[in-house]
Structure 1
Amino acid sequence: MLKVAWSESYAHSLPPGHRFPMEKYNLLPEQLLYEGTLTQDNFFVPDLLDENVILTTHDPIYFDKLKSQNLTRSEIRATGFPLSQELIQREIQIAGGSVQAAVFALNHGIGMNIAGGTHHAFTDRGEGFCLLNDLAITANFLLKKHLAKRVLIVDLDVHQGNGTAQIFRGRHDVFTFSMHGEKNYPHRKEQSHLDLALPDGTGDDLYLKRLNGVLPKIMEYFSPDFMIYQCGVDVLSSDQLGRMALSQEGVRQRDKTVLTMAKRHQIPVMCCMGGGYSKRIKDIIDAHAQVFRLAQEIYF
């Protein structure tokens, strides 16, 4: 059975003024239940992640400052959020959801988180609406617990996974692949193991050609035994921040490419949703929902 991490705190813990498009965290599960893609049995409420697991990735001084809400004004401004205890607990629970979804994936082939994909969080600071890096925390958890030996992070959000790249710089047991907008945020990029920067206006044909050209080569070169997939939908042509031109079908083909390849190679995969900032919330929900439909179709 497909297991999906979700909690009402994913949306309700956000400060006023930041709830659009974050209301997707409630609307997406509602849509998946309404259309019959998922039932209540598919969902689980993630536990708060143990502090020791977080500290395998994040600097203890930074985490202590975060917990005590003692970041400087400039550090808070870089995160994009006004700090609150509820927000910090939300981030810890989201990271817990990704870790638990990864454990489910070991047994069922795939596990998913309605939220997550917080790839702008560095070892010692937050950026871009990301306080803790759930991708990196999950990879380090799997490796430390000897549940995986080689973790591939496939980050297809329109923004480069700069925090993830910094965390795993020089590591040989994690391979970070980021395919993103060349001129988009962050303006100062970090170096992933492989970065594929695409021009503004990239549409379905070029995007899928580049993805299908490089992903098999990564699989052959790195031979991962676990995949973490950040499937942001801010590559849509309707996205207000993305500057790319993918259609809904293009996003579906992108996700099908990644999931099919993981299934073909019998590599467990954990999917987290990443960004999406289309003006119409329906466009965001439609794009996110289809990866759950694909998961059910391909794996179950």
Structure 2
Amino acid sequence: MDTPTGTRRLSSPFDLRPNAPRLVLKFSEVSLPAHSLDTPLEDHFGPIMKGHEVGGTAVDAVRASPQTGVDEWREYVAGGGAALVAITITFPINKTMFRQQVHNISPAEAVRQLRVEGGMHLYRGLLSPLLMKISTQSIMFGSYFQYSRLIQEHTHLTPTYAKLMGAVLAGVSEACMMPLERVQVLMQDSKFHTQFRNTPHALYSIRVYGLREYYRGLSAILLRNCPGNVIFFGSRERIKAALPDTWTTGTYASNISDFFGGAFLGALISTMFYPVNVTKTHLQLQVGGPFLQFRAVFKMLLEERGLRGMFRGVHINYTRSFLSWGIINVSYENLSHLLRHALAEIMSWTRLTIPFSTAPASLDLSPILQGIRGLPIIHTESYVCRLPPGHRFQMRKFRGVFQSLVQDRVIDAKTQVIEPLRASVELAGLAHDTQYVERFYAGETSREEQRRTGFEWSHGLASRVRYETGGTVLSTRISLERGLSCSTGGGTHHAGPDYGSGYCLINDIAVAAMNLIRNDPNFKVLIIDLDVHQGDGTALIFENEPRVFTLSVHAEKNFPFRKQKSDLDLGLEDGLQDNEYLQVLQEHIPVVLDQFRPDFVLYDAGVDVHEADALGRLKLSDNGLWRRDMFILKECMKRGVPTSTVIGGGYDKDLEVLSRRHSIIHRAAIKIHSQMQ
């Protein structure tokens, strides 16, 4: 490679010339001074990296986004839509169970009564439960996420307690729709068939008894709603997280797991509170007259029927709840997913964004940065797409990283997050063969090409890659203005000039670097790649580009087994731990920064160097990752070099643990950014 004077004439402590042999360090050959590089991670953010020792899961976090209010309204809509589907299917079962509760009869007798009354009466009273369920389920899901977020923002409660309080308050809020449930009880009992023509007539008729009449049985409703919500929201995502990957990955498998997760919880909760519902039904069958206490009616029914009688009809209730809540949960997840992506597209049309097909290096970003406070975070829900069942790649980690940061109140979703647009063919073509980009975007890559990437092509996958590439490009443009920014995705360093490889389709790091240098012959970019795998695609793309210095610190014996030549490769022996690894960085990073003197740094903070990573061969701890990231960012910032970070590789079956591990770079960047201010 032709080297301009003063660009790569690097010296001690190691030979960093482009043609220098790859350096392989054994962990027994290096040592660290007694003092540590930085204080531990826990000193700044608490014990957040302890996995299951800390309550709350990233996947169950408050669903926040740059449009937090819009996101919460999505929860309301998805909850109501799920109820519409479920109640229409299960209404006849519910009516059979109701007859058993009221008349203490067998299932066969209840069915016989309904058959005698005829088909015209089978769906009599549907409007009331339909309105009631749509309203209450909408409030249940929407207010839970809204209350949880508000409590976390305005109190010092932990995320676990905030969500617990959110579930209780959602149960109370649901009770505001109690008049509809009250009328549903009246409409389903045959003795009121002639008294009330329909739901509106029943609602109008009981007004003569006053407002309180609409809320007869309120204590029973609260006793059912509040603890039921705590159990449901506290267990829902944990059940899914505990299932094997093959049960939760891919559209079909995910729907099955969502159905059975919701079905199990619904059946469990409805069975636990069945006697409460029986008592509530008897309280609400009375129109006018004195208001009886829940405890008195419960005691009377228990003495009259016995414990077994209080559970008469529970098997039908169990079946109905199993089916109903399975449908609700899977419908909710699908509706939420559809709304999330629809809203993302709509918002991308209406918010200030960067036209990536023509984005010059000198583009004025002041309009988009005007409302940003704190460290800019680049994120979009479009970083996530669906994969086939059992896929090894944790696609949901990109959402999980963002949610863990919001849940722990590390970032403010309203004032720190910017959404990118998709990278065009022209933009991706800065680092790749244009024909390859066009074929990949159009889904025309061969089966062999797809096999090499580890992904089967889909429209969702292509769109995700384009957003991720656009996110890294946007991050670099923002860092030129603000000094530092982080994406919640990126790091696809195995993609080469005309091919994809190892879960990497378009090399977002290379595209971003090319975009930085394309209009300035003197602009220099340093790529620091600390993923456990060598950045072979990046090295190949820039092998003849003197303005970009590629530095890769990786496990020598790990993938890719046929490595390319970076400007500096530090291949490490297996088993390297925190102190030895950090010693390597201390001896090389400052030298490269001082002698190459970059105008910009792109930092791939891969966490597959972690001791628990499924594909790594090194032994870094959580705190080792924190010290690593703090060191890199400090070295860049104290030299005044604008820096952008991407999350790189990381592989763990536990989504929560992996998401929080990836979020260490954002937490370190926020710490550094606050010191800069």
Name the TM-score class by shorter chain.
over 0.9
**Deviation sequence 1:154-177 (CA, Å, 0-9, x none):** 000000000000000021100000
Q: Where do residues 1-300 of structure 1 align in structure 2 (5 Å cutoff)?
A: 1-18=374-391, 21-40=394-413, 41-146=415-520, 149-300=523-674
In the superposition, relative to structure 1, how do residues 270 and 15 fare at CA in structure 2: closer, same or farther (>3 Å)? farther
Question: Which deviates more from structure 2 when the two are superposed, residues 125-134 or residues 59-68?
Answer: 59-68
**SS in structure 2 of the partner of residue 189 of structure 1:** coil
Kept after mapping to 2: 8 A contact 1:25/1:114: yes
Kept after mapping to 1: 8 A contact 2:491/2:646: yes
Aligned residues: 300
Kept after mapping to 1: 8 A contact 2:603/2:643: yes
Q: Distance in 2 between matches of 1:67 and 1:131?
A: 10
Kept after mapping to 1: 8 A contact 2:533/2:555: yes
Kept after mapping to 1: 8 A contact 2:400/2:656: no
Residue of structure 1 equivalent to 2:281: none
Q: Distance in 2 between matches of 1:277 and 1:178?
A: 19
**SS in structure 2 of the partner of residue 179 of structure 1:** strand
Residue of structure 1 equivalent to 2:268: none
Q: Distance in 2 between matches of 1:125 and 1:293?
A: 33
Kept after mapping to 2: 8 A contact 1:154/1:229: yes
Deviation of residue 147 (structure 1)? 10
Kept after mapping to 2: 8 A contact 1:239/1:279: no
Kept after mapping to 2: 8 A contact 1:230/1:274: yes
Q: Distance in 2 between matches of 1:14 and 1:115?
A: 17
Q: Distance in 1 between matches of 2:581 and 2:552?
A: 13
Kept after mapping to 1: 8 A contact 2:469/2:511: yes
Deviation of residue 24 (structure 1)? 1.2
Gaps of 5+ in 1: none
Q: Distance in 1 between matches of 2:556 and 2:461?
A: 31
Q: Distance in 2 between matches of 1:72 and 1:279?
A: 29
Q: Distance in 1 between matches of 2:396 and 2:453?
A: 19
RMSD (Å), alpha carbons:
1.5
Alignment TM-score, normalising by the size of structure 1: 0.96
**SS in structure 2 of the partner of residue 195 of structure 1:** strand
**SS in structure 2 of the partner of residue 184 of structure 1:** coil
Q: Distance in 1 between matches of 2:375 and 2:527?
A: 20
Alignment TM-score, normalising by the size of structure 2: 0.43
Q: Distance in 2 between matches of 1:124 and 1:195?
A: 23
Kept after mapping to 2: 8 A contact 1:238/1:279: no
Kept after mapping to 1: 8 A contact 2:385/2:464: no
Larger strand percent: 1
Q: Distance in 2 between matches of 1:215 and 1:100?
A: 25
Question: Which deviates more from structure 2 when the two are superposed, residues 279-288 or residues 213-222?
Answer: 279-288
Q: Distance in 1 between matches of 2:427 and 2:504?
A: 17
Q: Distance in 2 between matches of 1:281 and 1:3?
A: 24
Task: State the one-letter code of the partner of 2:608.
Answer: D
Deviation of residue 22 (structure 1)? 2.2
**SS in structure 1 of the partner of residue 587 of structure 2:** helix
Kept after mapping to 2: 8 A contact 1:118/1:274: yes
Question: Which deviates more from structure 2 when the two are superposed, residues 5-14 or residues 82-91?
Answer: 5-14
**SS in structure 2 of the partner of residue 176 of structure 1:** strand
Kept after mapping to 2: 8 A contact 1:263/1:299: no
Larger Rg: 2
**SS in structure 2 of the partner of residue 49 of structure 1:** coil
Question: Which deviates more from structure 2 when the two are superposed, residues 281-290 or residues 211-220?
Answer: 281-290
Deviation of residue 19 (structure 1)? 7.2
**SS in structure 2 of the partner of residue 242 of structure 1:** coil
Gaps of 5+ in 2: 1-373
Task: State the one-letter code of the partner of 1:30.
Answer: Q
Q: Distance in 2 between matches of 1:47 and 1:10?
A: 11
Question: Which deviates more from structure 2 when the two are superposed, residues 169-178 or residues 279-288?
Answer: 279-288
